[in-house]
Amino acid sequence: MTNRIAILGSTGSIGTSALEVIEHLGPPCRTIALSAHRQLDRLVEQATRYRPATVAITTEDIPPAIVAKLRKLEIAIYSGPNAMVDMVGRDDVDTVVVAVVGAAGLPAVLAAVEAGKRVALANKESLVVAGSLLMPLARKKGVTLLPVDSEHSAVFQACRCGRAQEIRRVILTASGGPFRSASREQIENATLADALKHPTWRMGAKITIDSATMFNKALEIIEAHWLFDLPPEKIEVVVHPESVVHSMVEFVDGTVIAQLSPPDMKTPIQYALTYPNRLPGISRRLDLTKPTCLHFEPPDMERFPALKLAYRVIKMGGTAGAALNAANEAAVQAFTSGKIRFPEISRLVETTITQHRFQADPTLDDLLETDRWARSRVESLVLSGGSGFPVIDSPATQMI
Ligand code: NDP
Ligand code: MG
């Protein structure tokens, strides 16, 4: 059976790995569509190498030279804010890999599910914002959301060892990020360069900062709640600095099933693309002939308040996830452009969740409105600087 794959966010870290995996798998897998936001030269390089039928470009102004190069390759171009949504509905798309960062990926995820495509989902933010709409839609359309996030891929695989009602709890592993052993004072004074030094994973900038605040794990707790239909008390987090055990599922009889592999996103990406089958992979193998220690320790909810917020947001439901996600995206943006200090990210998110106009049973428009409001609330709190979120005056460190 053909597997013509669209990669949304092909120019990013997950998107690039997905392209490598598809090239490795070979037919019947084939890259049919790509998408980019700002890195258009990179998109042209990818298009030249992988020859998709079509691309989506979501920025407003596309330089004529880019259009000319793509036309020369006879590639159809979707452009503008709806480009990804329009592209995923095409008849020649079988599978959609959603590797866009942030809530910007949500409309395309909804469109792919609505069109009944196979969806390999890296974009956890769309579930955090709109899991309450996405999961019922997926069930209605008979679409399985195949997790790309390594923890959720691990849980998804472990879940195959038992029935849903036999799950006692899910244990998500967390590397702990660059500040795992940092004191409160060190975290207070962390610079952008410190926060970008992830010990085990090489990822896009936003998720790297999310790993430092542990908002990444917070988003993942909420992602697990939606994907596996679990109440908050059945989702636990354990810090595991080696990032070899990607998560575990404990069943009612006391058996714990874990999934292990060296930290490389190509492994869960490939599983999402070949599921339910397994094919030879391209990632490094786990080598237990060398002395290996695997450590586990409880997370510190005081130094990393993001984790507590995740449980609070699941209990609140409604618009709370949209408020958390948008506030976090805006706060990360403020931090990376040097406007706030590192610990203010968590404080801004908490304040925004508390202050937002909560709705228990939101429509998509309500969620998008919450997203807009939360971003502008964070921006005004950052600008005012006097609401307990002091603006730092040192020059902004550039993103790397
Ligand atoms: P990157 O920042 O490396 O890539 C993001 C991609 O999204 C790029 O292709 C970028 O385009 C595109 N993009 C950015 N903004 C927009 C927008 N407004 N509209 C459309 N496209 C946009 O991110 P990652 O690959 O690291 O992460 C992607 C997703 O996967 C995130 O949700 C992340 O949480 C998740 N994830 C990532 C992991 C990793 O190891 N990196 C692990 C697990 C999950 P361009 O570059 O052209 O501007
Ligand atoms: Mg993850």
DSSP state of 283: S
Please identify, by atom number, the ligand 1 atom nearest to the C-alpha of residue 36. Answer: 47
Q: Which tens digits make up the pLDDT trace of 130-176?
A: 999 999 999 999 999 999 999 999 999 999 999 999 999 999 999 99
Summarize pLDDT for 182-197 with one digit per residue, the tens.
999 999 999 999 999 9
CA of 203, closest atom in ligand 1: 41
The CA R_g of the chain, rounded to the nearest whole Å, is 21
Residues 6+ apart with CB under 8 A from 62: 40, 77, 79
pLDDT higher than threshold 90 for residue 5: yes
Query: b/e string for 252-280 if b means 16 or more Cβ within 10 A?
Result: eeeeebbbebebbbbbbbbbbbbbeeeee
pLDDT at residue number 199: 86
- Among the bound ligands, name the one nearest to the CA of residue 272: 1
pLDDT bucket at 388, cuts 50 / 70 / 90: low
* Residue with the larger pLDDT of the pair 180 and 399: 180
Residue of 101, 153, 270 to mutate, ligand 1, most atoms within 8 A of C-beta: 101
State percent of the chain over pLDDT 90. 93
**Nearest-angstrom CA–CA distance, 48 and 35:** 14
At 385, the pLDDT band (50, 70, 90 cuts) reads confident
- pLDDT tier at 389 (50, 70, 90 boundaries)? low
The per-residue pLDDT for 397 is 30
pLDDT at 205 (0 to 100): 93
The answer to whether 209 and 223 have CB atoms below 8 angstroms apart is no
Give 75-125 pLDDT, tens digit per residue: 999 999 999 999 999 999 999 999 999 999 999 999 999 999 999 999 999
- Cβ neighbours for 380, distance < 8 A, ≥ 6 positions apart: none
Is the predicted pLDDT of residue 363 greater than 60, yes or no? yes
Nearest to 158 by CA among 22, 61, 256: 256
Cα 104 to ligand 1 centroid, rounded to whole Å: 10
pLDDT of 390 > 70? The answer is: no
Cα angle value 64/69/71 (rounded, 5°) = 90
Q: Is the pLDDT of residue 272 over 70?
A: yes
The per-residue pLDDT of the chain, averaged, comes to: 95
Residues in the ligand 1 pocket, defined by CB under 6 Å = 9-15, 36-39, 58, 99-101, 104, 122-125, 149, 201, 203-207, 265
Distance, in Å, from the CA atom of 145 to the CA atom of 141, rounded to the nearest integer, reads: 11
Q: Which structural domains are found in the chain, ordered by start?
A: 3-147 (3.40.50.720), 176-257+300-398 (1.10.1740.10)
